[in-house]
Chain A
Amino acid sequence: MNKQIYLAFINGHFPPDWKNLATDLRHCLPFTFEILSLKVNLRLFHSADRHQYHSTLLLGHLLKNLPEQGEKIIGITDVDIYIPILTFLFGEAQLNGRGAVVSTYRLNTVFYGLPRNDKLLYDRTLKEIMHELGHTFGLVHCADFECVMNSSTYVENIDLKQAFFCQSCQDKMGITCDKRTT
C-alpha cells in the first residue's frame, strides 16, 4: 500500500526525540508517513470563555492543507482542544474520512501536576495518533481493553492500551500489526 499520510506538527511543536514516530507508526500501519511542519493561526479557533481551541474547526483547517498526493492528514498540537458539548478531547477524527487532530496538552504528565515524563508523553501520543487514524479508516471503538481502538476518556485509559490493533481491528483494516511497538 502506498498511501501517503501526513503528520502535521502545528506551529513547530515537534519534540526532538520524536524522530522515530513515523517508523514506530509503520510497525503497525503499512503506509508512508511524511512529517509536515504547519503554521496555523490558532487564534481563529480559540474560545475566550473556555481558554481552549475548537477541535472541529482546526480539523477543517488542516484538511485544507492536505497536499494533493496525500491520503490523510493528522495534525498534532500542544494546545488544549474541545468540541462545544465536551469539556475536552484527546483527539478528533473524521470517521472514514481524511483528517484527524491530536492534542498532547492533556497527555503530558505536567498537566496533572506530575513531573515531566517525555517517554510517557511520546507513548501516549503514538497511541492517540494510531487511535484517530483507526477512525479515519472506519474503525469504531473496540471492546478489547488492550487494543489501541479502545475508547479513552481519561489519560490512564491510554496507558492501559497497547500501541497495537487487536486482531479483529487489524482484519477490518486489512493490515498485519507488528507488536514491537508496544
Chain B
Amino acid sequence: MKPYKILIVDDELSVRTSLNEWFLEDGFKVETAESAEDALYKMHRGPFDLILLDIKMPGMDGITLQKKIKEIDADVVIIIMTAYASVETAVEALKLGAFDYVTKPFDPDDLSRLVRNALKQKELADENIQLKEKITELAGVSNMVGESEGMKRVLEMVDTVAETDSTVLIRGESGTGKELIARAIHTRSKRRYFPIVAVNCGAIPETLLESELFGHEKGAFTGAQYRRKGKIELANGGTLFLDEIGDISSQMQVDLLRVIESKRFTRVGGGDEIQVDFRLICATNKNLEKLVEEEIFREDLYYRINVFTIFIPPLRERRSDILLLTEFFIQKYSRTMGKPVKKISAAAQEILLSHPWPGNVRELENAIERAMVVGKHSEIMSEDLPLHINEQEKKKDNFIKLDDLEKQHIEKIIAEANGNITRAASLLGIDRVTLYNKIKKYGIKR
C-alpha cells in the first residue's frame, strides 16, 4: 500500500492523540495540527492525501479552513468531523468539496471504511489524471514548435494565461496556428479534462451558425427533427474556441455578447434558459479595431473578448523556426505514413528558408507532407517541394544584381577579345584604365 499521509486537525489533544495512534497502527504517516493556522502551516510544508478536519475550532472555523486548504491543494481529500450533527454545516462542507462528514465519536468500522474509500477514490482519481496526461502526451496535442524570440514570447503568454480563466483573443495571419495555441491554452488549464469545442465562425453560413452555436429544439425549424445541443452547451465545463470571430454578423454578435456576459442561453425554438460554464478563446486574422471603427464589429463585444491578446508572428518574421518546424513535420509524417525519417537536402533547406510563406506554418506543413509523399530519395530534394515554392526560387534567380551583371558582361567581352584589354575596352566603350579598375574590383581572371 502506498504510504498515505494524513493530517488530523482538531483543537482537542485527546482526539489528535487517539486518531494519531489509530492511523499509525493502520500504517499511515500521520501529522496533527491543533489550530487552523497550524494546519495551514503544515499544508504549506508538504502535501497530504487526506485531512480529518474538525468543523468547530476556536478562531478560524473548519469551513473557512476547508476553503483555504483547497486553495493550497485542490486534490486533497477532506473529511469533516463534528461533535454536533448539523445538516446545514454538513451540506455546506460537502458543497465545498469535502469527501464526507462524520459525527464524533465514530464507530471504528465507519472511520476505517470511510478513510479507505476516500483514499481509494483519490487513488483512482490520481490514476485517471495520470492516464489522461499520458494520452495527451501521446496524442501530441501540446506540441508547439518554435525557438525564435517571437514564438518564445507566445509560449510564455500561453503559460501565463492558461492557469487563469481569462478570455483570450488570439491574433495572427491565416495558417499561423491560432487553433493550436487555443488548444495549448486549454490543455494547460484546469479545464483540460473537459472538452474544447472549436467553431469556425467564418466557415459556417450565417443561417446555420445560430443553430450550430445554440442548438435547437425539435421542430424549431424545417428539418429540426430532433433536439440538438449546440457547441456552447457542449463546451460546458471546458473551453469554447470561436475561430474567425471577426466574420460573424451583427445579429450573432448581439446573441454572443449576451451569452458571454450571462453564461445563459436558450436553444433555438426553446423557452428554457440553460446555464453554462465555459472559458472563451477567440481568434481572428482581421483588424478588429478597424472593423469597430467602421461599425462592422460591436465595440462592447470587442472589449469583452479582447481581455488577453496573443499575437502570433507570421512565419516570415521567425525564420529561425522554419527548419525546426520542417524537422517536426518530417517526424510527424514519417510516423503517420509509416516511412523512414528523411533528411532534407541543403538546396531544399535553402529554398524553405528563403520562401516568404504567405500561408505560414500551414503552408510549410503542406509542403513537407507533399515532399514526403512524392520524394523518392532518402533526402527531401528541392524538386520534391511544391512547384510554386520552386518557381518563386527560380524567379528570384532572374533578379541579378547590377554588379554581378557587369562582371558577367566584362568576362564575356574579354573572352571574345581573346584577353586583349585594349580591344575589350574598345568593345565596352570605356578606356583601358577604367577596365583595369573593374577587373581588379571584380577579381576577374584573364
Chain A residues proximal to chain B, CB less than 8 Å: 56, 82-89, 92-93, 95, 135, 140-141, 143, 151, 153-154
Contacts and interface: CB of A to CB of B under 8 A. Distances in A.
Per DSSP, chain B at the interface is: helix
Contacts, number: 58
A87 B24 contact: no
A85 B112 contact: no
Contacts of A84: 12, 14-15, 18, 104-105
Interface in B14-31: 14-15, 17-19, 21-22, 24-27
B106 interface: yes
A86 B108 contact: yes
Interface string B270-287: 000000000000000000
Given A83-B14, A84-B14, A84-B15, A153 B108 contact: yes
Contacts of B104: 84-85
Contact of A140 (B14, B26, B106, B109): B26
Interchain residue pairs A-B with the least CB separation, the first 8: A153-B109, A140-B27, A83-B18, A153-B108, A84-B14, A85-B15, A153-B112, A87-B107
Contacts of B15: 84-85
Given A151-B112, A153-B112, A86 B106 contact: yes
Contact of B107 (A83, A86, A151): A86
Nearest to A97: B21
B1 interface: yes
B105 A95 contact: no
Nearest to A55: B18
B18 A56 contact: yes
Contacts of B19: 85
Interface in B368-424: none
Given A140-B25, A143-B1, A89 B108 contact: yes
Interface in B62-111: 104-109, 111
Interface string B48-74: 000000000000000000000000000
A141 B26 contact: yes
Given A84-B15, A141-B26, 19 more contacts: A56-B17, A84-B12, A84-B18, A85-B104, A85-B106, A86-B105, A86-B106, A86-B111, A87-B108, A89-B108, A92-B21, A95-B21, A95-B25, A140-B24, A151-B112, A153-B108, A153-B111, A153-B113, A154-B109
B120 to A, nearest CB: 14
Contacts of A87: 105-108
Contacts of B17: 56
A112 B105 CA distance: 21
Contact of B25 (A82, A83, A141): A141
Nearest to A95: B24
B18 A141 contact: no
25 contacts: A56-B17, A84-B14, A84-B105, A85-B14, A85-B18, A85-B19, A85-B22, A85-B106, A86-B111, A87-B108, A88-B107, A89-B108, A92-B21, A95-B21, A95-B24, A135-B25, A141-B25, A141-B26, A141-B27, A143-B1, A151-B112, A153-B108, A153-B109, A153-B113, A154-B109
Q: Which of the listed residues A82, A87, A143 has the most CB atoms from chain B within 10 Å of its own CB?
A: A87
B212 to A, nearest CB: 55
A84 B21 CA distance: 13
A56 B16 CA distance: 13
Contacts of A83: 14, 18
Contacts of B22: 85-86
Nearest to A84: B14
Nearest to A94: B21
B16 to A, nearest CB: 9
Contacts of A93: 25
Contacts of A95: 21, 24-25
Interface string B4-46: 0000000010110111011011110000000000000000000
Nearest to A82: B105
A88 B110 CA distance: 12
Contacts of A86: 18, 22, 105-108, 111
A24 to B, nearest CB: 23
A87 B18 CA distance: 12
B26 A151 contact: yes
Nearest to B111: A86
Nearest to B109: A153
Nearest to A131: B25
Nearest to A139: B25
Contacts of A154: 109
Which among A88, A89, A135, A140 has the greatest number of chain B C-beta atoms within 10 A?
A140
A141 B1 CA distance: 11
A56 B15 CA distance: 12
Contacts of B14: 56, 83-85
Contacts of B1: 143
